[in-house]
Amino acid sequence: MRHLLSVADLDAAEATALLDTSDRLREALLGREVRKLPTLRGRTVITMFYENSTRTRVSFEIAGKWMSADTVNVSASGSSVSKGESLRDTALTLSSMGADCVVVRHPASGSAHRLAHWVDTAGSTGGPRIGTDRAVTGTPTAIVNAGDGTHEHPTQALLDAATLRDRLGGIAGRRIGIVGDVLHSRVARSNVLLLATLGAEVVLVAPPTLLPTGVESWPCRVSHELDAELPALDAIMMLRVQSERMHGGFFPSAREYAVRFGLSEDRARLLPDHAVVLHPGPMIRGMEIAPAVADAPNAAVLAQVRNGVHVRMAVLYHLLAGAPE
Ligand code: ASP
């Protein structure tokens, strides 16, 4: 694996290998007083976030630190980005400083792919020399997509798959509902692709205004009736309503959204007893999910966060040290 840009680049064997590595790293750290593996000593991981983040940025930093990598965080507001520097120049600057991996979040869909292209080709056509220099050292910078606009969020899908595997004992043949603002959700797209690759049956439940055009070609079924789907689900993933990406009215009011697509306590009772409740966070309690449902024993929200660290360790491990035998 050279970069991690999209879950579409992973086949079932590669995705399963990442999840297995994540499990092994979790086991390796279990019960240790000092959570430090030497695996990535001397390697440098830079996170470059142009959008807000709590879970993703911090868990990449912890993941790097627990494997002894040097981690550096760059945020748009505290860097030369606020002076008008382009994404390309910023990324090539970080790469030439010796970043083995740049973890990037950016509001533009496709930005991580562009970055990977620039890092791979810089220097080859008489441009900046850094690509050549890094080719000489033999350690080209790996790019990880930590969320590009409404497009993809591969490590979120991997940590969700890890959580579902833990809670359900497997993913193949399970029915997973993904509910809410699919239109603006990179989490939904990455999850549909990855869960389908791993053999799950996925159903998207959303109002027609919050579904993207072309959703018919996604490997899933689409429904507008949440109550009708609930009794047959093994897991339900509630999505955040991405108001920062909405320009216009996609539903009449927050209250109406909650009534039709929120996971209330009454509605959660329609789920089978074994069903798992997920949310990628940040949760808008009371709108997307009732507080009592988010905190119930079958909710896996904090388990998702915990798995996020191990999955991101696995991704860094596969990219920077090679997949284990
Ligand atoms: N944290 C996830 C993301 O960055 C989900 C969300 O923000 O709604 O896409």
Q: Is 186 annotated as a binding-site member?
A: yes
Quote the CA–CA distance of 268 and 270 in Å, as a whole number. Answer: 5
* Ligand 1 contact, 174 CB (< 6 A): no
Per-residue confidence (pLDDT) for residue 125, from 0 to 100 = 46
* Ligand 1 contact, 180 CB (< 6 A): no
Per-residue confidence (pLDDT) for residue 140, from 0 to 100 = 86
Per-residue confidence (pLDDT) for residue 325, from 0 to 100 = 60
Q: Where are the alpha helices (DSSP H) in the chain?
A: 12-29, 55-66, 87-96, 111-121, 130-137, 154-168, 186-197, 226-229, 254-261, 265-268, 291-294, 301-320
Ligand 1 atom at minimal distance to the Cα of residue 185: 9
pLDDT tens figures, 284-313: 999 999 999 999 999 999 999 999 999 999
Per-residue confidence (pLDDT) for residue 139, from 0 to 100 = 67
Per-residue confidence (pLDDT) for residue 323, from 0 to 100 = 72
Residue 239 has what DSSP assignment?
Answer: P
Spacing, Cα 155 to ligand 1 middle (Å):
11
Give the pTM: 0.94
Token pair of 27, please? 């086991």
Per-residue confidence (pLDDT) for residue 137, from 0 to 100 = 46
- Catalogue all structural domains in the chain, each as residue range(s) with its CATH number: 36-149 (3.40.50.1370), 154-300 (3.40.50.1370)
Q: Which residues pair with 152 in a beta bridge?
A: 148
Residue pair 276/135 in contact by the 8 Å Cβ criterion: no
Which value, to the nearest 10 degrees, does the dihedral of the CA atoms of residues 225, 228, 231, 232 take?
-80
CA distances from 252 to 47, 134, 260 (A): 38, 53, 11
Ligand 1 atom at minimal distance to the Cα of residue 242: 8
State which residues of the chain have pLDDT below 50.
125-132, 134-137
Ligand 1 atom at minimal distance to the Cα of residue 146: 4
CB proximity list for 76: less than 8 A, separation 6 or greater: 49, 50, 82
Strands 101-106 and 221-223, bridge-based pairing? unpaired
Per-residue confidence (pLDDT) for residue 126, from 0 to 100 = 42
Per-residue confidence (pLDDT) for residue 292, from 0 to 100 = 98
